[in-house]
DNA sequence: TCCTTGTTGCAAGTTCATTGCAAATACCAT
DNA sequence: ATGGTATTTGCAATGAACTTGCAACAAGGA
C-alpha cells in the first residue's frame, strides 16, 4: 500500500483511517492539517512500538514521503501539546520516543535490553506508595516515572 | 576553608577527610590518585545533593581548582567503574547527576519541580511488582528506574 | 631522581534537539 | 475557483551534553 497515494493535498484521507476528529482538533487551535502531519500520524497509527524522531524520519524517507527531521520534531511538539501523543524518555536511551495516546491511561513500560522491544505495562502500582512518600518527605507529589528493563521472551 | 590548601601533590590529604581506602582502591586497578580526583571526591563528599558534571566544574572553578570539564566527565566515569559513585539520570533533566555511593543501598529519588531539591527515598516498593510483571510479560526483569517529582516543603 | 604509564587539557567531533528566516502551503473568505 | 494571510516547512545555523584524539604532564614505584 503506497502511502503517497493516500495523501491528498486537502483535507482528511480515508485510506489512512485517521481519527476523523484529528483535523478538527488541529484547526480548533488555529493549526492546519498538512500532508506531513498526516504522514506522521499515519505512521504512529500503524506502528505499535514507541518511535523516535529519527525513526519516524527514516521510515518516512523509505516510504518516499518528503519530510525534514526538523519538521518531525516540530510535529511531535504540536501533537504533544494537543494531547494526541505521549512522549517517553526511557532510561539510558538518550532520546525521546512517542506513542499515540488513543485514550491510553497512565501506564509504564518495560524494554528489552537486547532487542529494544518495548511493552506497555497496564498496571501502576504507585498509588499507595505516593501517599506514603508524601508523608515521609512532606513533598506534594505531582508525578512519577517508572520503567523496567530486562529480557523479552525472544531474547532470553 | 580553602580547598587548594588541602591538596598536596602527592598522596592522601587529611584535611579533605577522604575515605583512606579510596586512593588504594584507585591504585589497586592501576589508577592514580590525582589532585583533580581528590578535588572532585572532596566536593562530592561535602555536597549532599546529586551534582551534574557542569555543577562540579563550576563549583571547582569558584574554588580556584583548575580542572577541565572533560576531566570531570572522565573522573565520573572512573568513579562509576570503581563503584564509588552512582549516576542518576533523572527524568526530563537532560543531564546526568552523580552522588557518592558510600554504602547506600538501591533507592529512588524525588525532585522538586520548582527549586530542584532532590531527596533520597529510602524505600523501594517494587519487589513484589517485579514478580507480577515477569508473570504478565514473560520478560526477565533486570532493573527498574523510579522517580517522583513534586513540590518540596519550601516551595509549596 | 628517573622512568613508565596513567592522566590532563585543548580542540574537534557526536548526537539529539531547538531556533531564525525566507519560501511554500493550508484554508477561510470572497 | 481565486486570492489573501497566517501557519508550516526546509535549510542552515545554533545549543547542550557528552565523547574522542593526541601531545604534554605528572603520579608513584624503582
Ligand atoms: Mn505505552
Ligand atoms: Mn540518592
Ligand atoms: Zn504510574
Ligand atoms: Zn527500586
Please state, in angstroms and as integers, the Cα–Cα distance from residue A80 to each residue in A49, A76, A104, A132, following that order. Answer: 17, 6, 14, 31
Q: What is the pTM of this model?
A: 0.86
What is the rounded radius of gyration, in angstroms, for the C-alpha atoms of chain A? 18
Q: How far is the CA of A17 from the C1' of C29 (A)?
A: 30
Q: B13 pLDDT band (50/70/90 cuts)?
A: very low
Q: At what angle do helices A53-62 and A35-46 cross, to 10 degrees?
A: 100
Comparing A20-24, A36-40, B35-39, B150-154, the range with the smallest average pLDDT is A20-24
Kindly indicate the confidence band of residue A13, based on its pLDDT and cuts at 50, 70 and 90: very low
Q: List bases in chain D with any atom under 7 Å of a protein Cβ.
A: 6-13, 16-21, 26-29
User: Is the sign of the CA dihedral A118, A119, A125, A127 positive or negative?
Assistant: positive
Confidence of residue A20 (pLDDT cuts 50, 70, 90): low
Chain B residues within an 8 Å CB radius of A96: none
Q: With the C-alpha atoms ordered A78, A81, A84, A85, is the resulting torsion angle positive or negative?
A: positive
Hey, what domains does chain A have and what are their CATH numbers?
Answer: 1-104 (1.10.10.10), 105-156 (3.30.1490.190)
Residue at the smallest CA–C1' distance to nucleotide D26: B34
Which among A87, A121, A129, A135 is the top mutation candidate for probing chain B, defined by the most B β-carbons within 10 Å of its own β-carbon?
A129
Give which of A88, A137, A149, A156 to mutate to test B binding, by max B Cβ within 10 Å.
A137
Collapsing DSSP to helix, strand or coil, A74 comes out as helix
Mean pLDDT of all residues in chain B? 86
Amino acid at each position: 500500500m503506497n502511502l503517497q497515494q493516500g495523501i491528498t493535498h486537502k483535507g482528511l484521507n480515508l485510506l489512512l483511517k485517521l481519527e476523523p476528529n484529528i483535523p478538527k482538533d488541529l484547526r480548533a487551535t488555529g493549526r492546519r492539517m498538512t500532508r506531513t502531519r498526516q504522514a506522521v500520524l499515519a505512521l504512529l497509527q500503524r506502528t505499535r512500538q514507541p518511535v523516535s524522531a529519527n525513526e519516524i524520519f527514516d521510515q518516512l524517507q523509505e516510504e518516499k514521503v518528503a519530510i525534514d527531521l526538523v519538521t518531525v520534531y516540530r510535529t511531535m511538539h504540536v501533537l504533544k501539546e494537543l494531547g494526541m501523543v505521549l512522549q517517553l524518555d526511557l532510561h539510558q536511551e538518550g532520546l525521546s520516543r512517542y506513542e499515540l495516546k488513543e485514550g491510553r491511561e497512565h501506564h509504564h513500560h518495560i524494554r528489552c535490553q537486547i532487542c529494544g522491544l518495548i511493552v506497555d505495562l497496564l498496571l501502576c502500582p504507585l498509588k499507595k506508595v505516593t501517599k506514603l512518600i508524601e508523608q515521609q518527605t512532606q513533598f506534594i507529589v505531582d508525578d512519577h516515572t517508572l520503567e523496567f528493563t530486562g529480557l523479552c521472551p525472544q531474547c532470553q
